Amino acid sequence: MTKKLYSISNTVLILISVILIFQLFRDSMSSGDFIGYVNAGNAVLSKQNIYADYLNTWPPLFSVFSVILAIGDKLSSFFIRFIWLVGSIISLYYIISITVEIFFKKPLDLRANGNGIMIQEPIIIVPLLISLRFIMDNLANVQINIYMLLGSLLCILCFIQKKYAWFGILLALTISLKVYTIFILFYFLYKREFKPVIWTILFLALLNAISFLVFGFDQAVEYYQHWMMEVAPKSFVADHKNQSIFGAFLRFFTSEDPDHNMYVNVLSLAPHLTKQITYIAVVIAAIFPGILLRKKMKDTSSLSSFLGYSLILTVIPVLSPVSWKPYFIFLWFPYFILTVLLFHMNSQLHKSTLKLLRYLFGVSVLLNVFTTELFIGGTFSDWTEAYSAITFGTIILLVIQIVIIINIEKFDLKNVIFKSSAHTTKSEQTSL
């Protein structure tokens, strides 16, 4: 049975590799959202208003960062996209590798006779398959979110290793480029981990000073004001593709256009009132998890700490005001952890509770993965997005994690079971 599972895992891994290579060459010829990055960089080079292009919804530093992309696009639009997507696939490997290192304190292993965790393990392949939809969305749209997830996981790894300066520069860079990882900063501030927070604030100031050097003081101030007062507020949209909690509330409680005339609203409240209601609902929903996580971390690499990291990575896409499908690549980490805890661990959790959590896990996968165009077609997929399928699938993940945190004493990482590694002995399995 072990050899059969091992063979199946190898086959699946090969298929995933073929799919990614196909996507790599196909999407290197696509403009995707990458064209917005190029336009932002060109605006800097030509000294034009960076926000004259409606595609630019990012902080000013992102436009400065995009200059290198614009230069590369002038040389070869195919080549710069190819390099970008190759980097995304390489980043995906390191995302898996860092996750394994964080969780198991062992390296990811490509060899059948190595001492690490084999990439062919179902414990890795299953969450990779679940995340494949969001990986493909990132490649198809030539987006930056895979790099953002890599930066976030590197932050967690640096925190565990007490490399606070590196934590600060990595987190400050991701916040300065796309903002939404600021929730990680809020989390560590709430946990009273002041050293990494101080380093992050310091590097936020230093990195954003680059914008003032490039644009000049007055122009930079104008850009930051425009972004905060004009661009950021407009990110609250009811578009069916926006799977954030804010998009869901706007679709359900206002008559704002959700695109494609897919109105699902049960009320017609004013958008500003709905936004306030959303904030209130989020605050109320956060009270209980906040109480659970109020204690300062004693062991940064304990299971309870891992679940804290996982929770914050789960909320990043749903709490961002606008959250397109590629943003949900951040769910890789919670899906990985929950796959391990619910399906590869001998826990002391009551059988009925475990069965319920596995059922909820399956519902989450159904909502997040099997609502894609590949399975149900474009029209039905758009309707599931209008009804916030991915939003609800992610909220279910949050609920599962909260239940596990409540029952944390019933889980022990030493009881993880690997099901297909031919080189791993039973004693090695239980020593993790």
Three-state helix/strand/coil letters over 59-102? CHHHHHHCHHHHHHHHHCHHHHHHHHHHHHHHHHHHHHHHHHHH
Residue 109 — very low, low, confident or very high, per pLDDT cuts 50/70/90?
confident
pLDDT for residue 422: 46
Distance CA 63, CA 40 (A): 5
Are 292 and 404 contacting, i.e. CB atoms less than 8 angstroms apart?
A: no
**In angstroms, rounded to a whole number, what is the distance separating the alpha carbons of residues 212 and 204?**
13
**Which residue did the predictor score with more confidence, 235 or 408?**
408
Share of the chain above pLDDT 90, in %: 83
Predicted structure pTM score = 0.94
Q: What is the pLDDT of residue 427?
A: 37
Kindly state whether residue 184 falls inside one of the protein's structural domains. no
Cβ 262 vs Cβ 386: under 8 Å: yes
User: Residue 430: what pLDDT?
Assistant: 39
Is position 307 within any domain? yes
**Residue 259 or 314, more confident:** 314
Rounded to whole angstroms, the Cα distance separating 351 from 355 reads: 6
Number of domains in the chain: 1
Please state, in angstroms and as integers, the Cα–Cα distance from residue 426 to each residue in 121, 225, 342, 418, 430, following that order.
15, 60, 19, 9, 7
Per-residue pLDDT at 431: 39
Mean predicted confidence (pLDDT) in 298-310: 94
**Tens digit of each residue's pLDDT (9 = 90 or more) over 347-388:** 999 999 999 999 999 999 999 999 999 899 999 999 999 999
The 3-state DSSP class for residue 17 equals helix
Asked whether the predicted pLDDT for residue 3 surpasses 80, the reply is no
Contact (Cβ atoms closer than 8 angstroms) between residue 338 and residue 398: no
- Res. 114 pLDDT band, cuts 50 70 90: low
Q: What is the pLDDT of residue 41?
A: 97
pLDDT for res 236: 86
Query: Average pLDDT for residues 142-153, to the nearest whole number?
Result: 97
Digit-coded pLDDT (tens) for 38-96: 999 999 999 999 999 999 999 999 999 999 999 999 999 999 999 999 999 999 999 99
Taking residues 293-313, what's their average pLDDT?
94
Compute the average pLDDT of residues 270-293. Answer: 96
**Residue 204: CB partners within 8 Å, gap ≥ 6?**
172, 175, 176
Q: Identify whether 26 is part of a domain.
A: no
**Mean pLDDT in residue range 390-404:** 98
| Integer Cα distance of 95 and 329 in angstroms | 11
Determine which of 77-81, 195-199, 255-259 has the lowest per-residue pLDDT on average: 255-259
d(CA 387, CA 381): 10
For residue 112, is pLDDT > 60? Answer: no
In this prediction, residue 143 carries a pLDDT of 95
pLDDT, one tens digit per residue, over 82-101 is 999 999 999 999 999 999 99
Which distant-in-sequence residues (6+ apart) come within 8 Å of 354 by Cβ?
342, 347
Report the pLDDT value the prediction gives residue 426, as an integer from 0 to 100: 42
Q: Check residue 113 and give its pLDDT.
A: 60
Work out the mean pLDDT of the chain and round it to a whole number.
92
CB 308 within 8 A of CB 206: no
Are 31 and 55 contacting, i.e. CB atoms less than 8 angstroms apart?
Answer: no
Q: What pLDDT, on the 0 to 100 scale, is given for residue 111?
A: 66
Give the least confident one: 114-118, 267-271, 281-285.
114-118
Domain that holds residue 422: 94-161+236-430
321 belongs to a structural domain: yes
Tell me, what amino acid is at 371?
Answer: T
Instruction: Let me know if residue 176 belongs to a domain.
Output: no
Summarize the confidence of residues 327-338 as an average pLDDT. 98
